[in-house]
Each structure stands twice: as C-alpha cells, then as structure tokens.
Structure 1
Amino acid sequence: MLLSIAVVIAFLISTTQALNPKNIVLAKETSPDIELAKKLGKEIIAACPVVSDTKNLAAFNSCADKLTKLTTLRETMNAPFLWGAQSKVGNYNLKDNQTTKFDPLVWRRIYLATFMFKGEPKVEQINNLIVIHLPIQFRNQLDIGAYPYPFWHSSKKWNSYQQSTELLLFLEQKKLKGALRSAVVDSQRPVVNHVWDGNWVWNDAHGKKQPYVTLYTRLFSPSNPHVAKVDAAYRAFEVNLRQHACIVCHSPDNAAKQNPLLLLSYPNQALSLRHETVRQIKEKRMPPPTGIVNDQERQKLLELAQAFAQAGDQALAYEGEKITSSQVHSSN
C-alpha cells in the first residue's frame, strides 16, 4: 500500500514539473531550432563587430567577405530572401511589411554588410516562428557608391537604416525566410544627410560605374570565370527591358507598388528575378498585362532572359551557392 502511494506521489510530482511553464520555456530554449538561431546570431555579430569609425572601408570589406563565407548563414537562408523595414513594433509577419526579394548571396554581402553588430543575440519564439534580434549600428559614412542604391531617395528609408536599433531575422522550419530593420529607432543617433540627384546609377570622377557594390566584380570572387559572361548577359537583357519599359516597375522607388518589390535595375540585385523573368515572358505576363505583342520581339527578350539566367546560375554555383532544379527547369 505504501509503495502504491509513493508511486502515485512520484507521478504527480513529475507531472507537475512537466507542466511548469519554466520547464516549457527551458525546453524551447534548448531546442535545435533555438540553438540554430543563437548560432546564426552569434556568428553574424562576430563577423561584423562595431568599429568606432563608420567609414572604415577595411572593416566594411572584411565584414562583407566574412558574411559571404559564413556556412551556417548560407545554408540556412531561403531563396529568395525577403528584406525590408518593420511597419510597426511587434509586427513579425513578413507579408504585412514592405519587402524586396533578393538572392541570398546578394543580401548578405551587399546589404547585411552595411551594418555592424554588438552584444548578444536575443531569440524569441512565437508559435513556429523564431525571431532573432541583433543590436545594430549602420555604416552611414561610407562613400555613396558603397550602398546598394541611393537609400536617401526617401528620407524615411534612409533614417530607418541610420536609426533602427535592431535587425530582425525570421527563422521558420530551419530556414531564414527574411529580415527587417526594426521599427524601434533611436532618434538620438547621429545621421548623415545626402541629397538625391535623381540618378539611380552614375559614373564617378574616374569614370567608374556606381554604385560599385551593385557590380558583379563586387559580388563574385576574382577567380570566378563567369563574371564577364553574366555581366554581358545582364547588360544585353537590361537594354531590351528598358525598350519595353520593364525597368520602370522594377526600380527602388517601386512605382508599381509591388510587395514584395522585384528589382531589375541593378546587375547583382536582378539575380533574384533571373528565372521569374523567363517564366513571365514565356507566359506573356511581362510587361503586364499581356506581355509583348510582337512574337519576334518577345522571343528575342526571352532568349536574352534565358542567357542571363544561365550565366547567373553558373556564376553563383561557382561561389558555392545552391541552384535548385526548379530554378533551372523554369529557365528552359
């Protein structure tokens, strides 16, 4: 009898402990997804620590190189990857925020590298979504050609970059789906003011194309044998896109109010759309609403799009980026 009572008491104690909220939180904190989130956060912070001089070019380049090579980050990022600004504090639904689609390599090397990180990552779980909070400081004193496009075309956007206090990364089912600049801002942070002259691209005093970070020579390693090919393919494709007014809808000012926005106006940022353009041209959906009426002109643009998609795949594959079979199939 005493043994039976002891068994019952032991069972009740174990059940009570299992239902204790503290134990539930502990279980979540030690789950593989939580551990992955912490690992990602710590590796990003270590790759790009805060330096006192925000125009330190060596630190910027070092950060970009390290983020490019971070294996955990590369293998976890979803393609395409969504990036934007949080519309309001606490809104963690990517679909409810204005975002832009990017190729994973482009985002981490060209966009993520404009930030510096400090402290420790904070990891928060909401149902199946894990939010990684990274304290940030923006490199707002770089040369204007070091930014993916003139963010200051919109003062709201430029200030969001300069004064946002956190980067929010969204992990779901072991995949990083996207990131947002937090709506929590520090209005006391010093800002750098630029006046936009209306040009998305320009040549500097030495005749070099700007922004230089949008070029394939910045994105890909010097040993990549496909750089010249993908650049030539993009240039030929882009000229014909302009003839059909496609760039109007696919520029940073987002005249067509797309969400997510799809960029075609810059070489490396167009990579995220390289297969989608092939599909839409084939289906007579680009440009909207009925595509290109002239069959010969449509076929020409389609062939240019296919050449760009193929060259982009080759260049990215050389860097170790994943090219899915569905992507290749959509371009054939």
Structure 2
Amino acid sequence: MLKRLKLRSQLLLFFAGIVLPVALFIGCSSNNLSTNSNLSVNSDSSSNSDMAIATEIAQGIAKACPVTDLGDEKAQQQCAEKLANFDLLHKSMSEDMLWGQQREPNHYNPTEHETTVFNPLVWRRTYLSTFVINDEPKVEEQEGFTIIHLPVMFRKKLDMGAFPYPFWHSPKKWDAYQQATEVLLVMKEGKIKGALRSYQKDQERPLVEREWDGQWMWEEKDGKQEPRVTLYTNLFSERNPHVKTLDAAYRAFEVEMRQHACMVCHSPDNSNEMKQLLLLNYPNQALALRHENVTQIADKLMPPPVGIADDEERQNLLELAKAFAEAGDQALAYEGEQITATANGNKLSLKPFNFAF
C-alpha cells in the first residue's frame, strides 16, 4: 500500500484570479472524500462559494485517484468507485456533462470547444477514472468560470477493455490523452458544466502504441463483451434492480437504430462533425441522449434530414426510445442521480439540450 503523504497547506483568500493550492491526498481507502462536511452545493452561488466548493472537490478527486502504476486496473476500479460515490462531486455536476479537448490556452468555456455530451455518472466513473492525479490541484477564476486544474497522468497501460472506447482509432486523440498534463473542470454557479483535456501537453512523456482493428466493440474468447466498462453492470451498483430491464431496452432500441443508420452519426469518429457529439453505440454513453432520442424521432429529425418516412416504423422506434428513456431514468434515480426528464407510459416530459452558460 502506498504510504499516505501528509501535506499541509493553507488556503489563500478567495478572490478572482488568485490560484489556490490544494492538498493532494494519496493512498486513502475511504469512500468519504469530503474534507469539510459543512460545505453545501446549494448554499451560495457567489464567487467565494464556488471557490470553496471547487477546492473541496479538487481535494476529493486527488484523494480518490492517487498516483499508481498506469496499468493497475484494480487501482483504476477503486478510483472509479470512489468518484461515483463522491457526494459533493455528484451534487455539483450538471446533468449534461461536456468533455473534450481544449483548443486554445486560457480559454475554458466548454461550449466553444469540440466536446462529447455525457451523463455525469458515466463521465466521472468511466472517463475521469482513467487519470491519476500526480501533483497538487489548484483552483482559480477565469472568464467568469471557476476552474479546477487537476494535474494528471493518463492510465495508458490499462487493458483495452478498461477504456471507454478505443481512443487509438485516432492516433492524434490517443496521443492527446497520453500527453495531457491537466484535466480542467469548469464550474459556474455551483455546477460543473464541463471538463477539458488541457491544451498544454508534455511531449516528452513516453507513448504506448496501439493499433485499431476497426472494431468499436468486440468479444473475448469467453464471450464477454468489450469494452466491459461500457456495460451497465459496470456503471451501476450490483443491487440496482433496473439494470437488466435497462440493458434489454437498450439492446432492442439499438437493433432498430442500426436499421436506420443512426450509428453513422453517433459514433466516436464523429463522421457528421457535430460540435457537441452524442454517442449511441455504447450502452452507458447512450444514456445522455435517451430523452433527446424521443424528441428527434417524434419530430421526424432523426435520422436526418427528414426522419423515418414510414409511420409504423417511426412509431415502433419511438416506443423503443421511450422504453429506453424510462428504464434509464429508473436505473439512474436508484443510484441517486438527478433526473429532470422522465418517461411515463406514452408521455414524456422532455428537457432539450441547452449548453448556454
């Protein structure tokens, strides 16, 4: 077991433009990542409140994901579990989480970068856990946002099935993950709106070379589906009673979607060049689009440009989309995730995507 480092630091006064050092905690096995139980996400939307919340979040993430061997899957799983159950982080995340590459230094608004939209539980458990925190985080204010700087190293040596998808389908993207020096969490009014891999890269870091075989998904010899981290059994707790229903609903919806070429636009290669990409070809990542599916199909916008011409086929896909949305809501609600749109029979209360901050 790694020896816990005892770091002592004093927080500087909270005001705009001042960087706060944050203590890095290493080797703690507790799931209680809060360092100040008196802080509340809903207590105050002022600048000082955001800085205080951001500081505690940074401490908790550092505590959850300390430096380990970059191929240690057990450590990655422990990090993922702690991030999934980190209450303050959970409560501080927007329901639609943007994740992408920072295109310019000192420019942080996630809506102005090319990003992918994720459910927040999926992002923190599946994506954030692929990094270790290798130095003291810091917090500052820039462009009207509170920015959490997480110094990171990417777990590049993990087994292929431990990654959310084969990042190496694009050598440029794979190298960007490996050379990223920071993950930047962007907060406004008490909510983390998105996260970016830093523009700054360490090009001296040794790279792990991988070659893509053209398959987004594959099966091992024992029949297990990969990437395994994309499955609902990996995302949700074992006690969640809605997982089987959700998986069946997604599989039924997926089969019909493929008949209408929906995966052409909604795959990681982003062939349609969407600025905010939405993925459908993986079970866990499809959760972000579960309500928008219903709107787009009903309004004859999906697949573009005019939807499904045959009324019976469109209605069939619409019912499958509603079933998937409802099952997704139930599974996420069981885990305590925020739900603002719910499916109920044939009626659906929809929340359209709105990324204006």
Normalised to the residue count of structure 2, the TM-score between the two structures is: 0.83
Residues 25, 302 of structure 1: alpha-carbon distance in 2 compared, 3 angstrom cutoff: closer
Aligned counterpart for 1:33 among listed residues 43, 50, 54: 50
Q: C-alpha separation between the residues in 2 aligned to 1:71 and 1:25? A: 26
Q: Which residue of 1 aligns with 2:35?
A: none
Q: Which residue of 2 aligns with 1:329?
A: 349
Residues 234, 165 of structure 1: alpha-carbon distance in 2 compared, 3 angstrom cutoff: same
* 1:278-293 equivalences in 2 (<5 Å): 278-293=294-309
- Deviation track 1:241-278 (CA, whole Å, cap 9, x = no partner) reads 00000010000000000110000000000000000000
Q: C-alpha separation between the residues in 1 aligned to 2:295 and 2:341? A: 15
Paired residue type of 1:250:
H
Q: Which residue of 2 aligns with 1:13?
A: none
Q: Any gaps of 5 or more consecutive residues in structure 1?
A: 1-21
Paired residue type of 1:189:
R
Q: Any gaps of 5 or more consecutive residues in structure 2?
A: 1-12, 21-46, 352-357
Q: Which residue of 1 aligns with 2:38?
A: none
Residues 118, 170 of structure 1: alpha-carbon distance in 2 compared, 3 angstrom cutoff: same
Q: Which residue of 2 aligns with 1:47?
A: 64
Aligned counterpart for 1:226 among listed residues 242, 247, 253: 242
* 1:155-234 equivalences in 2 (<5 Å): 155-234=171-250
- Deviation track 1:36-75 (CA, whole Å, cap 9, x = no partner) reads 1111111111100011x11112111100000000001100
Q: C-alpha separation between the residues in 2 aligned to 1:203 and 1:134? A: 34
Q: C-alpha separation between the residues in 1 aligned to 2:261 and 2:245? A: 24
- Identical amino acids, percent of aligned pairs: 54
Residues 289, 117 of structure 1: alpha-carbon distance in 2 compared, 3 angstrom cutoff: same
Aligned counterpart for 2:134 among listed residues 118, 128, 133: 118
Aligned counterpart for 1:60 among listed residues 68, 76, 81: 76
Residues 98 and 193 in structure 2, CA contact (< 8 A), matched pair in contact too: yes
Structure 1 residue 330, shift from structure 2 partner: 2.1
More helix by share: 1
Residues 89 and 183 in structure 1, CA contact (< 8 A), matched pair in contact too: yes
Q: C-alpha separation between the residues in 1 aligned to 2:142 and 2:230? A: 35
Q: Secondary structure at the match of 2:303?
A: coil
Q: Which runs of 4+ in 1 moved over 6 A?
A: 26-30
Q: Which residue of 1 aligns with 2:274?
A: 258
Residues 28 and 34 in structure 1, CA contact (< 8 A), matched pair in contact too: no
Paired residue type of 1:75:
K
Aligned counterpart for 1:276 among listed residues 266, 287, 292: 292
Rg larger for: 1
Residues 84, 26 of structure 1: alpha-carbon distance in 2 compared, 3 angstrom cutoff: closer
Q: C-alpha separation between the residues in 2 aligned to 1:28 and 1:159? A: 29
Q: Which residue of 2 aligns with 1:305?
A: 321
- Deviation track 1:111-165 (CA, whole Å, cap 9, x = no partner) reads 0100000332211212421111110011011100000100000011101111100
Q: C-alpha separation between the residues in 2 aligned to 1:326 and 1:318? A: 13
Structure 1 residue 90, shift from structure 2 partner: 1.8
Q: Which residue of 2 aligns with 1:247?
A: 263
Q: Aligned-pair RMSD on alpha carbons?
A: 1.9
Q: C-alpha separation between the residues in 2 aligned to 1:197 and 1:275? A: 32
Paired residue type of 2:296:
Q
Paired residue type of 1:217:
T
Q: C-alpha separation between the residues in 1 aligned to 2:144 and 2:81? A: 32
More moved, 270-279 vs 319-328? 319-328
Aligned length: 309
Q: C-alpha separation between the residues in 2 aligned to 1:220 and 1:95? A: 28
Residues 277, 114 of structure 1: alpha-carbon distance in 2 compared, 3 angstrom cutoff: same
Residues 73 and 162 in structure 2, CA contact (< 8 A), matched pair in contact too: no
Residues 128 and 173 in structure 1, CA contact (< 8 A), matched pair in contact too: no
2:150 corresponds to 1:149: no
Q: C-alpha separation between the residues in 2 aligned to 1:108 and 1:194? A: 24
Residues 304, 187 of structure 1: alpha-carbon distance in 2 compared, 3 angstrom cutoff: same
